[in-house]
Amino acid sequence: MNFLTKKELKLSNEFKKKGYIIINIKKLNCLDYIQKKIIKSTELKLNRKKFNSQSFLNKIHKRVTVKELNNFRVNIMKNINNDKKFKQYFYEISKELLDPLLGNELVMQKRISLSIQFPKDKSSLLPIHSDTWSGLSPFEAVAWLPLVNCYKTKSMYILPPPENQKFISKFKNYVNSDSQNIFKIIKKKVVWLNLKYGQILIFNQQLPHGNVVNNEKETRWSLNCRFKGIFSPYADKRIGEFYEPITLRPMSELGFGYKLPKFK
């Protein structure tokens, strides 16, 4: 028995078939706040008369060196994660997909992650992996938000579910292989996800994914955050440590606090 609406069923089937969904963001005011907060957090001087946010972010590699990049990124992450409104707005623009795919009682990763990948920079690579391989719950999904247009090697790749089944069936053969060799094996099978600024991606982090050296002429900026149903099973990462509840409903709160009356 399934009481999902036709729209929800269509969305669910697409997600299970492809392993991801990309939609246009409706709450553009939330996206605008997020981008402005990021730019302000760079603490770089701006030319207000000729300022263009996309150009500023795409060309940031001309103002920040590779050596400075990690501290630059960490400082921005501190600023955005200390801003409750930033986290709320990130959830708000993801909500349209999170509710039908995960449910409406959710936990959210406590710290939103930021990726900045300069052109030709080999220091910011995320080799092929599945989040579940490193102790994360198979019941979670990742919301991935580009702050610039992301395409080709300026984006990320994912291994589709049918190909992942084949890969997993032979997984024991790759135990002694490094990530580079594993990527070579599945390179022709992965799907590159092209997103424009103003879109958001939700993907199944059980599926192998990653990035390569950015061979485009622009810098990639993207945010990512994990969400899961509060009552779904956890793995190594626990609520309170890695996740925080964001949409707990009244009856659940009452249930957590309930104590059976004593008869003696």
Cα separation, 13 vs 173, in Å, equals 31
Closest CA to 224 of 32, 34, 69, 26: 34
Q: Is the pTM of this model over 0.85?
A: yes
Cα separation, 210 vs 243, in Å, equals 22
160 within 8 A of 195, measured Cβ to Cβ: no
Cα separation, 20 vs 146, in Å, equals 15
For residue 48, what pLDDT is reported?
Answer: 78
Q: Higher confidence at residue 124 or residue 122?
A: 122
User: What average pLDDT score do residues 159-164 get?
Assistant: 97
Number of other CB atoms surrounding residue 113 within 10 Å? 16
Cα separation, 220 vs 63, in Å, equals 14
CB-based contacts of 220: which residues, under 8 Å, 6+ apart?
A: 115, 116, 117, 146, 148, 150, 154, 155, 214
- In the predicted model, is pLDDT for residue 212 greater than 90? yes
For residue 263, what pLDDT is reported?
Answer: 84
Strand, helix or coil at 36? Answer: helix
Strand, helix or coil at 216? Answer: coil
Closest CA to 190 of 224, 214, 166, 216: 166
- In the predicted model, is pLDDT for residue 99 greater than 90? yes
Strand, helix or coil at 213? Answer: coil
User: What average pLDDT score do residues 129-146 get?
Assistant: 95
Cα separation, 196 vs 188, in Å, equals 23
Read off the tokens for 254: 């009452």
158 within 8 A of 190, measured Cβ to Cβ: yes
CA atoms within 13 A on the CB side of 132: 13
Cα separation, 181 vs 201, in Å, equals 27
What value does the mean pLDDT of the chain take? Answer: 95
